[in-house]
Structure 1
């Protein structure tokens, strides 16, 4: 089974994904890290040089052509479900799980790592919350198409494992 973790940046897709994979005995794949490995540079650098549209195309191609192990947990990029037919593809090829959090909770998590995130690096605290509110409003329709939704506040690997295993 392939489990695709989706949600806004900072919701814990990579952190929870690693722990969930360990609990299930599955492989863990961080799609952003795979893209960086393939590029030989950071996503931020690629984004700055080529723009968001080029990155989203590359992200979609990587999502759909990666040679996934039979059983794996995949942490996707925050925007991955919202472009092209990526959400349809994830639902057809695995189990999509949305890790849902409020804009304020996300802003608190993202405040200290803004420099590494191209879309956030120039925002102050109020700007960060406003940006997250706006982006979440845009993305919620795509995110909510996941087969499962997990509340990201105080989420544990055991909670996530139980949620995934309860899905028919």
Structure 2
């Protein structure tokens, strides 16, 4: 039976961009969990954070994640923090194939700095604060991210190289 593929990794790791590429390559549906939440709630993730706070967002995110169990022919890009709450990583590992898109701190800073205003957790951070935040959060989240069935270091790889490596790894699972 086909199972969902869950993409995990820090914000800016390429989950959405790579997820679309992987879904097209595998002829699967692509679901961005954040966009899925926005569609269901009728407001942006930033607005949910602002109105309800991170704790309530994480509860909502968990509920929506559980609803993806029947999306067996999908590639699902999760939020950067999704694996770290409510045993979400164990759920994803038990019901699908998890892939951690690993990116080093400097590459994440370079990717996130220009787009930080669209990301509620980093919108108010200057470059040095952003670097410290990413470094600290990556350390906190590493135990969850590293539970993934497939770990793909994408720091120096093009999306097409990553696709080749991940496709090969998926064939072995």
1:102 aligns with 2:71: no
Distance across 2 between alignment mates of 1:34 and 1:135: 24
For 1:8-157, list aligned pairs within 5 A.
8-66=10-68, 68-153=70-155, 154=157, 155-156=159-160, 157=163
- Once the two structures are TM-superposed, the CA of residue 67 in structure 1 deviates from its matched residue by 6.2
- Once the two structures are TM-superposed, the CA of residue 152 in structure 1 deviates from its matched residue by 1.2
For structure 1, list consecutive stretches of 5 or more residues without a partner in the other structure.
none
Q: RMSD of the alignment, in Å?
A: 1.1
Look up the match of 2:171: 165
Residue 96 of structure 1 aligns to a residue whose secondary structure is strand
Distance across 2 between alignment mates of 1:111 and 1:45: 21
For structure 2, list consecutive stretches of 5 or more residues without a partner in the other structure.
none
Residue 8 of structure 1 aligns to a residue whose secondary structure is coil
Residue 13 of structure 2 aligns to a residue whose secondary structure is coil
Distance across 2 between alignment mates of 1:135 and 1:116: 18
Distance across 2 between alignment mates of 1:94 and 1:165: 14
Distance across 2 between alignment mates of 1:4 and 1:144: 13
Contact 2:4-2:69 at 8 Å conserved across structures: no
TM-score, structure 2 as length reference: 0.93
Residue 59 of structure 2 aligns to a residue whose secondary structure is helix
Equivalent residues, number: 167
TM-score, structure 1 as length reference: 0.96
Look up the match of 1:2: 4
